Structure formats: structure tokens, C-alpha cells
Structure 1
Amino acid sequence: MVLTDAKRLFVLSVVMISILICYREQKAENSLRKASRKLARAEGELERTEISLVQCQHDFDVAMQTKQTYQTDYDALLERRNDANTLISGLTGLPNDDLSIQNGIIATSNYRYPLLIDPQLQGKSWIKDMERDHDLVITTLNSKLFRQQLDDSIAFGRPLLIEDVKEELDPILDPILEKNFSKLDRTLRLYITTKLANPTYAPEICARVSVIDFTVTQRGLEHQLLSLLIANERNELERERVTLARETTKNKRMLKELEDNLLIKLTSSLLDDPSVVEVLNANKRIATEVKEKVVIAEETKMKISTARE
């Protein structure tokens, strides 16, 4: 009887073990199938990702080529613009380094009125020289005549320089800086300067004006010292440089006027204006002469620059 019970127990154990092994095998197979499906999905995702990366790399390469093309065109246009503004601003005392030129361009734009951070007072000197023939009004926020001078500039369109401001501006300037004052002449030229080296302006002020750092750079200082040195030791070379700048400015302006005049003439009918052909021929001849002078001036400029170095 005992052996019979032992046999039953043994058989039962074997059966249970067999069932357990089958269960575990089935569970393992299910896990393997799930893992296989996940792996297949992952491989598909990987393949799609690789295709996307290849496409992204292609798009990036195309974008970089396009950017390089635009950058080349931009650099060429920037160089031309800087050359023109260098000639104009250089005649009025603005340093000839790239940063000073860009500052001058921003300061003379009509987008927002400029606020110059000008601890060395070179920006203010440049403004005075630039506006010396336009009846420049110079004042401060603390001046007793400030409001009267402000009203006069608005009424008569006289350029206004508000110098030595601190980190806060008079609220009376708000509608003017926003250019929504009813009596405001849109051609009003307003300049604001501060002698503070590192001012902190509130966001609402920065939103109304163009804050421009006119602090003298090393390049600008080198250029100015070089000009002073040459003016003392080789005065004729400095005079030639200034004369050349004036002539080049005059020639380029004349060339621009000829181009504008040419465009105007081309918009009219040849039948309505028989003189158009004569004007075109005259413009072409003068334009050729001016271009030749500009080329000669550029060559001379390079020679002078070499001598200055």
C-alpha cells in the first residue's frame, strides 16, 4: 500500500513537472514571438529613421549650399553698402573700422531714433559734424529750454541732439520715439547720447530706440592714431586720401543719379519724348567716364592704404 501511494506520488510529480515544463516552454515561446515582433518593428523604425536621416542630410547640404550662395551675395552687397557709407561717414569724422561704419548706418536709418552709448564722445562729435550745416539743436533733459527746443525741432524739422542722458528718459519723449505724435515731422532727425560706459536701460526704452554702442574699438583707435600720425609726418598723403574720398563720393553719387535718371527715362515712351535717345547717349557717356574715375580712385585708394600700412 505504501509503495502504491509512493508510485502515485511519483507519477503525479512527473506529470506536474511535465506540465510545468510545457507551460514554461509555451511562455518562453510566447515571449520569443513578442520579442521577435518588437525586433521587427524596431528594425522597421530603424530603417525609416535611417532613410529620414539620409533625407535630412541631403536637405541640410542643399540648405548649406543655398546659404553659401545667399551669404556670398550678402557679403558683396554689404561690402558695397559699407564702401558707400564709409565715404560719407568718413568725411564727417566717423572711424573707418567695420563696427563704427555699421553703427553709423544704424544711427542714420529711419527705423528707430538712435541712443548712442558714447563714453569717449566720438559719436556726439560725429553727429555735430554731420549735422553742422542743418542748424542742429543741442540740448539736455535738464535744460530749462528743453521743451521749447523740442517743440521747435518738431515744428521746423530741425535735427535735435539730446546729450548726456542717464538711464531714464523724459516721458514726454515717448510719443516722439514711437513716432505717433500728431505734429511730428516724419523727417525729424533725433539723436540721444549718454556718457555712461555701461548703462542699463529698461526694456520699454530699448523697444523704442536703437541702442548703439559707440565705445571706441581697438581697430577704430588704431585708424584714428594712424590718421593723426600721417597728418603730422606725411600731410600730403592724408590730404590726398581726404580729397580722394570726396571725389569718389561725388562720382558715386553722380553715377547713382544717372542710373535713377536713366530708369525714369526708360519708363517714358520714345515717341512721346524724342529727346530720350539723346539723354540716354549722354548718360551712357558720362556714366562710362564716372566708372573709369571710380576705378582709378579705387586703385589709388589701395596704393594709399598700402602706404599707410
Structure 2
Amino acid sequence: SDYLRTLENAIQFGKPVLCENVLETLDPALEPLLVKQTFKSGGVECIRLGDATIEYQKDFRFFITTKLRNPHYLPELQVKVTLLNFMITPAGLEDQLLGITVAKERPDLEEEKGRLVQESAANKKQLKEIEDKILEVLSGGEGGSILEDATAINILSASKQLSVEISEKQKIADETEVKIDEARNGYKPVAYRTSLLFFCIASLAEIDPMYQYSLDWFINL
């Protein structure tokens, strides 16, 4: 089939492949691939896929996704793959909905929250760079006392001063973020109930598969 030919080319040239929307059973032809049933032929690593023998490149990657909300895979399949569940959790959805609600009702708070997150990341990066510079100076001595190296002393002094300034900025940012979070928490009941509503709607699929609703659809209501 077409998808097997696509797989053959990807295996041969070491490219990644994404197989989407699978159900709870997989094509038996994929078995050698799932268990990486390779063998040597003429000193080259190969694998059989269907009736074809293909040169196996180590950079090849195979990803499989499903749209099933709660798929049940047989144990013998689970041991051949690495299962990752990307289904959103109630707590994760509540946090996401809190941000959406605050952005709608108090865009100033959400904008300031985003700015502080970026500032905090930048401060931590600068502190790490200062730490690395100090370690470089301390380990760069040529056997003499660092106290006799004027350049090293100046670098260490400037680094210490900059570190203090950044730490003070981070302290102010942390205090501001606490106040913003307190204001945002006023909208938590809305986010909590909205999250419950989504999972109630999502559970309708257990009554009839026809009732399938995406998170994007729900958020845009």
C-alpha cells in the first residue's frame, strides 16, 4: 500500500514518519518495525517490511497517534511501543481556562503575568551566565594567587554587583507576581466550573461515539 512505500523510503533514508488516526489494532505488517527486527545482509543492517527488504538507517523514527479518547491496547502491543497520553487533565485544563478567562476579563493582569514570566527566565539566564563567568575566572589561574590578578578581581567584583542587582530585580518580580496571582485567583471558580463542564461534555462520547467535541470547539463557544 501507499503508506508502506512511504515507510520504506523513510527507513532507507533515515527520516521520521508520523502515522495518524490509528485505531486499537495495527497492521500486522508493522510487526518487524515495532520490535526492530533488523538483521545483517552483506554487512548492512536491514529490515523486512511486507515483501520488501530495506536498508535500515538508525536515524529513522516512527510515531503513531490516535484520536481515540480512551484507547485500550493489548499488553503485547504496549510492550513494543512507548505510550504517551496527551489527554488534558482537569487541573491542566483549569489552569488553561484561568488564563483565557483572565485575558478576557483583565487583559492587563494576564499581560503583566506573561511579562514577569519572561523577565524571570531572563534573570535566571543572566545569573547562570555570571556563575559560569566566575567559575571560569576561578579555574583560569596559572598557579598564582587570584588576589594578585587585578583583571580577575575586577571581573569578580563586577559580577558580584551585577548578581546582586539581578537578584533584587527578581525579588521585586516575585512579589509582583504573587499580587497578580492573588488577583487571578478570583477567577478560579469560573475556570473550575468550566473545566467540569468540558469533561461532562467529553464523557458523552461514552454514551454514543457520535458525541465527539474538541477542546478548540469548546473554548470558542
Give me the TM-score of the superposition, normalised by structure 1: 0.41
Distance 1:215 1:199 in 2: 11
| 1:240 counterpart residue number | 112
Letter in 1 for 2:154: E
Deviation, 1:276, is: 3.1
Distance 2:76 2:111 in 1: 46
Deviation, 1:238, is: 0.8
Letter in 1 for 2:163: A
Unaligned runs of 5+ in 2: 37-44, 46-55, 186-221
| Structure 1 contact 166–196 (Cα < 8 Å) conserved | yes
| 2:99 counterpart residue number | 227
| 1:288 counterpart residue number | 164
Letter in 1 for 2:126: M
Relative to 1, partners in 2 of residues 1:303 and 1:285: Cα closer, same or farther, differing over 3 Å? same
Determine whether 1:277 maps to 2:145.
no
Unaligned runs of 5+ in 1: 1-140
Deviation, 1:144, is: 6.4
| Structure 1 contact 270–276 (Cα < 8 Å) conserved | no
Once the two structures are superposed, the pairs formed by residues 94-243 of structure 1 within 5 Å of their partners are 142=3, 145=6, 148=9, 154=14, 163-167=20-24, 168=26, 170=30, 171-172=32-33, 175=36, 183-184=58-59, 193-201=65-73, 206=78, 210-243=82-115
Letter in 1 for 2:109: L
Deviation, 1:199, is: 2.6
| Structure 2 contact 103–110 (Cα < 8 Å) conserved | yes
Distance 2:75 2:178 in 1: 44
Percent of residue pairs bearing the same amino acid type: 37
Distance 2:123 2:177 in 1: 14
Distance 1:161 1:290 in 2: 44
Deviation, 1:220, is: 1.7
Deviation, 1:147, is: 5.4
Distance 2:63 2:155 in 1: 41
Distance 2:21 2:115 in 1: 34
Tell me which protein shows more helix as a share of its residues.
Answer: 1
Relative to 1, partners in 2 of residues 1:164 and 1:144: Cα closer, same or farther, differing over 3 Å? farther
Distance 2:136 2:124 in 1: 18
Relative to 1, partners in 2 of residues 1:288 and 1:207: Cα closer, same or farther, differing over 3 Å? farther
The alignment partner of 2:84 has SS state of: strand
* 1:100-135 deviation per Cα after TM superposition (whole angstroms, max 9, x unaligned): xxxxxxxxxxxxxxxxxxxxxxxxxxxxxxxxxxxx
Distance 2:168 2:89 in 1: 35
Deviation, 1:256, is: 2.1
Deviation, 1:239, is: 0.8
Instruction: Choose the corresponding residue for 1:256, options 128, 136, 139.
Output: 128
Q: Name the Cα RMSD after superposition.
A: 3.8
Deviation, 1:247, is: 1.1
Relative to 1, partners in 2 of residues 1:307 and 1:260: Cα closer, same or farther, differing over 3 Å? same
| Structure 1 contact 164–193 (Cα < 8 Å) conserved | yes
Distance 1:235 1:299 in 2: 20
The alignment partner of 2:167 has SS state of: helix
How many matched pairs?
A: 158
Letter in 2 for 1:264: E
Relative to 1, partners in 2 of residues 1:269 and 1:307: Cα closer, same or farther, differing over 3 Å? same
* 1:57-112 deviation per Cα after TM superposition (whole angstroms, max 9, x unaligned): xxxxxxxxxxxxxxxxxxxxxxxxxxxxxxxxxxxxxxxxxxxxxxxxxxxxxxxx
Determine whether 1:300 maps to 2:184.
no
Letter in 1 for 2:59: L
Distance 1:182 1:195 in 2: 29
Letter in 2 for 1:222: E
Higher radius of gyration, 1 or 2: 1
* 1:4-25 deviation per Cα after TM superposition (whole angstroms, max 9, x unaligned): xxxxxxxxxxxxxxxxxxxxxx
Deviation, 1:210, is: 4.5
